[in-house]
Chains A and B, each alone.
Chain A
C-alpha cells in the first residue's frame, strides 16, 4: 500500500473540518489550490470572468459536499481537480458549437504565446506532465488535449480531426495508457 503523503493528510483534515462547516479550513484549502485550479479553468474556458465564476461554484460545492470525499477512493487533489474540471466542462458544453470553436481557436493562439513565455515558470510537477505529454505522438496527444481542455467528446473530436471514430478512440486510449505508465509512481511529486 502506498504511504500517504503528509500534504494529503493535511488536506484530508482540512476537508473534514470543512465538512464540519469550518470556513477557515475552506479558506486554507482555497489558498492552497486556487492558482492551479484557476489555471485549469482558464485553459478550459479561456475567459477570466467565467473561470472565476466556475472557481467560486467549485469551492461552494466543496463547502457543501466535503463530507462526500472518500479518502479510500483517491487523493484530495484528485477530488478537487475532478470537481472543478467537471464544472468547467459542463460550462463550456453549454456554449454553442460555434462559440466553442471560437474559444478553442483563441486558445491555440494563446497556447503559442504562453509556451514561449513558460520558461519563467518551471515547476517540477508541471515539468513531469508536460514532458510526458511531449513524448506522446501528436496523433495521440491531440485527442487527449481536445477532450481534457476543450470538453470535446470522442465523436466531436473525430469530426474536428476528420478521423474515423474508432481510430480516435484507439489513439486516445493508447495515449492515456502511455501517460499513466510515464506518470506512475511520480504522482507523489504532485505536492502543491
Chain B
C-alpha cells in the first residue's frame, strides 16, 4: 500500500468504520507517519461534531455520585496536595517554639488519621470487590477461566469469572506496569473469528487489576480469553503481543 491508500482510510477510521484488519494496518502506518496522524486528528474534530446530532439527555444523578465515589477511593488521589497556604507567613505568625511543636503534633495526628481513613476506604473497596467476585462465582452456572502469563507477561495470572448472562469480572495479578498512555485490554476469541474487544484496565503498582465486563454472547459457550497491551482508549483489534491467555 502507498501513502495515499492509507490517507483514504482515515475518514472512515475517524468514525470507527474500518474492520479489524484495516485498523491494524492503518495503526501501523500511523506510528511512522506524522502527516497522517495530523490528518486523523483533523478528521476526529469533524467526527466529534456529529455527537451533537444525538438528542441531549440528562443522565441519572447517581452516575455523578458513583464517579466521584470511585475516584475518591482511587489510591492515586493521594497525590492531591491538601494545603496551599504560604508556609513562610504561617511560621512567622506562630511566634513560639511551643506553638510550633503543638502544630507539628497536630499535623502528625491529622496526617495519621487521613492515612488510616484512606487505608480503611481502600480496604472497604477491596472487600466490596471480593464480595462482588464471590457473588458472581456462586451464581448458578457461573464459569471461571484461568489466564496465565505468556512470555511477555511471565509470572502474571488472572481469573475471569462470568455468569450465564455474560456478567463478568476479571481479577489479574503480577502484570507488568503499563507505560503512559497504555492500558491492558481483554479479548474474547471464538474459533477463527477476529477477537472481540473487551474493556481496558490499568493495574496498580503491584500489577493487580480488577475489571468488570460483559462476555459477548458468542463467547459464552466456548472461547479463549486473552489480555493485550493497547492504547489507553482500547483498540477494536489487538495491536500487541498477548500478556495473559486462558487454555495455556
Contacts and interface: CB of A to CB of B under 8 A. Distances in A.
A20 B233 contact: no
A179 B64 contact: no
Nearest to A52: B63
Which bucket holds chain A's interface residue count? 35 or more
Interface residues of B, number: 60
A179 B46 contact: yes
Interface stretch (B102-110, B132-140, B155-163, B210-218): B210-218
Contact of A83 (B12, B53, B233): B233
A81 B51 contact: yes
B198 interface: yes
A74 B51 contact: no
Contacts of B218: 96
Contacts of A43: 54-55
A169 B18 CA distance: 10
A35 B68 CA distance: 17
Contacts of A60: 67, 70-71
B50 A87 contact: no
A56 B63 CA distance: 6
Contacts, number: 198
Select the residue from B50, B180, B233 with max chain A CB neighbours within 10 A: B50
B11 interface: yes
A177 B50 CA distance: 13
**Which secondary structure dominates chain A's binding surface?**
helix
A48 B62 CA distance: 12
A122 to B, nearest CB: 11
B216 A95 contact: yes
Given A154-B18, A169-B12, A172-B12, A35 B58 contact: yes
A21 B76 contact: yes
B19 interface: yes
A99 interface: yes
B181 interface: yes
Interface stretch (B37-45, B89-97, B114-122, B145-153): B37-45
Contacts of A99: 217
Contacts of B44: 74, 78, 82
B206 to A, nearest CB: 17
Given A52-B63, A68-B232, A169-B12, A38 B58 contact: yes
B35 interface: no
Nearest to B214: A94
A30 B64 CA distance: 8
Nearest to A99: B217
Interface in B25-73: 41, 43-60, 62-64, 66-68, 70-72
B174 interface: no
A155 B60 CA distance: 36
Contacts of A128: 49
Contacts of A93: 196-197, 236
Which of A63, A75, A152, A187 has the most chain B CB atoms closer than 10 A to its own CB?
Answer: A63
B199 A57 contact: yes
B196 A23 contact: no
A40 B79 contact: no
Given A94-B197, A180-B43, A183-B46, A89 B16 contact: yes
Contact of B59 (A51, A96, A169): A51
23 contacts: A20-B80, A22-B80, A23-B68, A27-B64, A35-B58, A35-B59, A38-B56, A38-B59, A39-B54, A42-B54, A63-B71, A67-B180, A81-B47, A86-B16, A91-B214, A94-B196, A94-B214, A95-B217, A125-B52, A126-B56, A133-B53, A179-B50, A190-B49
Given A38-B59, A133-B53, 4 more contacts: A40-B51, A42-B55, A61-B232, A86-B16
